[in-house]
Amino acid sequence: SMENPPQQNQEGESIPQQQQQGSEPVPISKEDIRTLRLQRFEQTKKDPNTLSPPVQPRTVHPSQQQQQQQLQQQQPIGKQTQPEKAPQRIEERRPVQQISLEDQEDRLLSDILQASLSHVQPPKIFLPILAQEVQSTKLKFSYLDSALMEILSKVNEEDHVDYLLSAFLRGLTLLSGHPTVEMALRSLLTYLALELVGMTSSIAAEIGQSRLVSILERGFSVTSVPTDDDIRLASSLIPRLAARNDLDLDQIILPIFAEMFERVKNQTLIDSFQQPLSIVINLTNYPSFAKLLVDSDQWQPAHAQNGAQLEALSFLGPFFHFTSLPSMPQVGKTYLSTQNPRQTQESIQTLRMSFSTLQVGLHKLVLNFLKHRETRESAFQWISAILRGSKARAVIQNVQPSATDGLLLNLGSVMIRLCEPFMDATKLAATKLNSAYCLDGPHSRVDLGSDARLVQLEDFATSGNLAHLPETVRAPQNFLVTTELFFVALYSLHIGVQRTFTSYEHLLRQLRVLQQQRNAMSEPDPQFDAHFANFYVIKLSYDAHLLDPDFLNQCNRFYAFVAEVLLRQAQEGEGDLQLWPEWVVEDLADAVLYGCRFANVVPPAVYLQPLARLAGTFLGRRDRVRNPYLRGKLAELLANFCPSSPTDSLPDIFSDSFLFNSLLSGLVHLYVDIESTGRQGQFYEKFGVRRNVSDLLLHLRTLPAYNTAFATLNKDPQLVRFVNLMLNDANYLIAEVLSKLPQIRDLEATMENPEAWQAMDQAARNTHEETLQQKKREAQSVCGLANETLKVLSVLTAQHKEPFLRAEIVDGFAAMLNYFLVQLTGPNAQKLNVKEPERYPFKPKVCSFKNSSARISIFFSHGDNFQKLVQVVRRETLSILFT
pLDDT of residue 431: 83
Share above pLDDT 90 across residues of the chain, in percent, rounded to a whole number = 34
Instruction: Supply φ then ψ for residue 187, to 5 degrees.
Output: -65, -40
Cβ(635)–Cβ(619) below 8 Å: yes
Find the range with the poorest average confidence among 20-34, 69-83, 396-410: 69-83
Helix (H, G, I), strand (E, B) or coil at 125: strand
Q: Which residues are CB-contacts of 797 (< 8 A; sequence separation ≥ 6)?
A: 804, 856, 859, 860
DSSP letters for 446-503: S--TTS-BSS--HHHHHH--GGGS-GGGS--S---HHHHHHHHHHHHHIIIIIHHHHH
Mean pLDDT of 325-330: 90
Closest by CA position to 454, among listed 620, 624, 679, 693? 624
Q: Which residues are CB-contacts of 32 (< 8 A; sequence separation ≥ 6)?
A: none
Mean pLDDT of 625-641: 91
* Chain segment 568-578, per-residue pLDDT in tens: 888 876 567 78
Is the pTM for the entire model greater than 0.85? no
Mean pLDDT of 625-643: 90
DSSP letters for 693-715: HHHHHHHHHT-GGGHHHHHGGGG
User: Taking the C-alpha atoms of 423, 426, 428 and 431 in order, what is their torsion angle to the nearest 10 degrees?
Assistant: 80
pLDDT of residue 719: 84
For residue 126, give the H/E element and its range. strand 125-126
Closest by CA position to 734, among listed 798, 796, 784? 784
Task: Assign 858 a pLDDT band (cuts: 50, 70, 90).
Answer: very low
Q: Which residues are CB-contacts of 389 (< 8 A; sequence separation ≥ 6)?
A: 304, 305, 306, 307, 308, 309, 310, 402, 403
* Chain segment 694-749, per-residue pLDDT in tens: 999 989 988 888 888 888 887 888 888 888 888 888 888 888 888 888 888 888 88
pLDDT of residue 321: 93
Helix (H, G, I), strand (E, B) or coil at 14: strand
What whole-number distance in Å separates Cα of residue 325 and Cα of residue 153? 56
632 pLDDT higher than 80: yes
Q: Which residues are CB-contacts of 652 (< 8 A; sequence separation ≥ 6)?
A: 605
Phi-psi region of 845 (alpha: psi -120 to 50; beta: other; left: phi over 0): left
Our CA angle for 872, 875, 876, nearest 5°, is 85
What whole-number distance in Å separates Cα of residue 877 and Cα of residue 199? 107
* Chain segment 448-479, per-residue pLDDT in tens: 777 888 876 554 444 444 444 555 555 445 78
Task: Assign 112 a pLDDT band (cuts: 50, 70, 90).
Answer: very high
Task: Please count the CA atoms within 13 angstroms of the CA of 805 that sit on its side-chain side.
Answer: 21
Instruction: Supply φ then ψ for residue 465, to 5 degrees.
Output: -85, 130
For residue 560, give the H/E element and its range. helix 549-572
pLDDT of residue 80: 43
Q: What is the mean pLDDT of the chain?
A: 80
290 pLDDT higher than 90: yes
581 beta partners:
453
Find the range with the poorest average confidence among 91-100, 174-183, 765-774: 91-100
pLDDT of residue 477: 56
Mean pLDDT of 171-186: 86
pLDDT of residue 119: 79
Our CA angle for 105, 107, 108, nearest 5°, is 65
Our CA angle for 487, 491, 492, nearest 5°, is 115
Q: With DSSP H G I counted as helix, E B as strand and the rest as coil, what are the percentages for the chain, rounded to 5? A: 70, 0, 30
